[in-house]
Amino acid sequence: MTRTRKKSKKSKKGKIVKDKDEFVNIYENFDEIPNSRMKGSGVYALYDNYGLYYIGLTNRSLRSRIRRHTIDRHKNKWTKYSWYKIPRIDYVKDIESILLRIMRPRGNKVRGRFRKKRS
């Protein structure tokens, strides 16, 4: 009797998020965050002392987008951040919208929108 091995299936794990860094202190080096030359599109989160403060997205550079929040209306309102690199730009907006609808962070004005269904 001969046994046949099942072919192992390739894991689907890690197909959307290609890189990440979580709960980084605001005073640590921004140079490790993907920029536009690295196809740094993705989703990021800002945290204050009480938890999640803001969720955002960028289609170009996670680094410049997070850095910009140190001087805009969110200045001095957050202390840590997380970022998730998502190279497929067509997924970024939907992922951000899902997170906004579930988490409802205090710093976001918009609650996440999806495209309207076409009839």
Average pLDDT across each block of 10 residues of the chain; the chain has 119 residues. List them in order: 60 80 90 80 96 95 93 96 92 92 93 68
Tokens linked to 111: 């609650």
Bridge partners for 81 per DSSP = 24, 46
**Residue-level pLDDT at 49:** 95
Distance CA 98, CA 64 (A): 23
Q: What is the model's pTM? A: 0.82
Phi-psi region of 109 (alpha: psi -120 to 50; beta: other; left: phi over 0): alpha
For 81, which DSSP code? E
CATH code matching the domain that covers 19-103, chosen among 3.40.1440, 1.10.3470, 3.40.50, 1.10.10: 3.40.1440
Tokens linked to 38: 């690295």
Distance CA 17, CA 64 (A): 19
Collapsing DSSP to helix, strand or coil, 95 comes out as: helix
Spell out the domain ranges in the chain. Answer: 19-103
